[in-house]
Amino acid sequence: MAFGVKTNEGATKASHAPHERPGTRAQVKYVRMSAYKVRQVIDTIRGKDTTEAEELLRFTERDAARVIRKCLASAVANAAHNDGLDPESLYVSAAYVDEGMTIKRFQPRARGRASRIRKRTCHITVIVSPIPADELERRAKRDAARATTGGGTRTRTASEARAARVARSKAAAEETEAPTTDEVTEDVTDEATTEVVDEDAAQADDATDEATDDAAQADEADAADDDEDAAGDAAGEEEE
């Protein structure tokens, strides 16, 4: 091969021509799958860490993910064994799919005719490269900040976040908790006392109204007596 030494696994060493992309590559040829279907999966891992890309492919429910995952593992193994690179410091610098040969088959149809069946193939290429130094430094600072426990710089884990959510839920439930038996008894006693006071006030108002009515009736009776006396005096004077 003109662009490098090809291994038994179908991978090429890091030596590459000037127009080729740098990095350690692995290639799978003549995959019995269309390039269109494989590109939909391989586009999701481009530019990601090898660990993240491997996890993503593991849980992808596509047939192409299984083949791409094997190709990625081969590229990482080539980088570790052939180029002496740390597998933890690699990322997918390039990943692409080329169309391969098309296998032609025919299916019998009516009236002696035949329909062509095209079985597509493709070539999958994955290239891994070391993560840049500035990115590694940034990640080291982030990990150091997460490792510290003081100053609030450490990021909470999933279990800690869940414990905080449970605590908040319990606090909210206690605030909206139903009243106890003592509280209910106190409320009933207060309501009964209020009702008794209201009844006493109503009775006092009724007694006051009755007294006022009696006084008015007495005043009317006195006025009637005065009128009768005045009428009697006037009649006596006329007789005289």
- Per-residue model confidence as pLDDT tens digits over 30-55: 999 999 999 999 999 999 999 999 99
**Residue ranges per structural domain of the chain:** 11-131, 180-240
Percent of the chain with pLDDT over 70: 65
The single-letter DSSP state of residue 106 is E
Residue with tokens 């710089």: 153
What was the pLDDT predicted at 68? 96
Question: pTM for this one?
Answer: 0.53
Q: What is the pLDDT of residue 63?
A: 94
Name the H helices within the chain.
Answer: 35-42, 50-58, 63-81, 133-147, 158-175, 181-239
Does 4 have pLDDT greater than 80? no
Instruction: Select from 88, 116, 91 the least CA-distant residue to 102.
Output: 116
Question: What is the pLDDT confidence band of residue 1, given thresholds at 50, 70 and 90?
Answer: very low
Query: Three-class SS of residue 153?
Result: coil
Could you give the CA distance from residue 224 to residue 99 in angstroms, rounded to a whole number? 127
pLDDT at 3 (0 to 100): 32
CA 179 to chain centre: 34
Q: How many CB atoms lie within 10 A of CB 28?
A: 20
pLDDT at 225: 67
Q: Report CA 77 to chain centroid distance, whole Å.
A: 37
Task: Give residue-wise pLDDT tens across range 70-125.
Answer: 999 999 999 999 999 999 889 999 999 999 999 999 999 999 999 999 999 999 99
Mean pLDDT over 203-217 rounds to 70
CA dist 75 and 97 (Å) reads 15
Whole-number pLDDT of residue 183 = 59
* CATH code for the domain defined by 11-131: 3.90.470.10
Q: Tell me if 130 sits within 8 A of 85, measured CB to CB.
A: yes
In this prediction, residues 118-144 reach a mean pLDDT of: 89
- Whether 159 shows a pLDDT value over 70: the answer reads yes
102 and 121 Cβ atoms separated by less than 8 Å:
yes
Of 17 and 139, the one with more pLDDT = 139
Tokens describing residue 223: 């006025």
